[in-house]
Amino acid sequence: MAGFRNVIIHGYAMLDLNKLHAVLKNNLKDFQEFSKFIVDFLEANP
């Protein structure tokens, strides 16, 4: 997901909306794991 972020932010290539859709559809696990780390941190550090 981080590599795809670079493509979007830095414009290394023209953004293909079909690829963007596929990445978002198939890589939501990255966001779920990240949000779990945030929740765990907040619960441990009230």
pLDDT value, residue 1? 67
How far is residue 11 from each of residues 5, 27, 42, measured CA to CA in Å? 10, 20, 34
pLDDT value, residue 13? 64
Alpha-helical regions (H) of the chain: 2-10, 17-26, 28-44
pLDDT value, residue 37? 95
| Cα angle value 27/25/23 (rounded, 5°) | 60
Instruction: Quote the pTM value.
Output: 0.49
pLDDT tens figures, 1-46: 667 777 777 766 677 788 888 888 888 888 889 999 999 999 999 8
pLDDT value, residue 8? 75
pLDDT tens figures, 22-34: 888 888 888 889 9
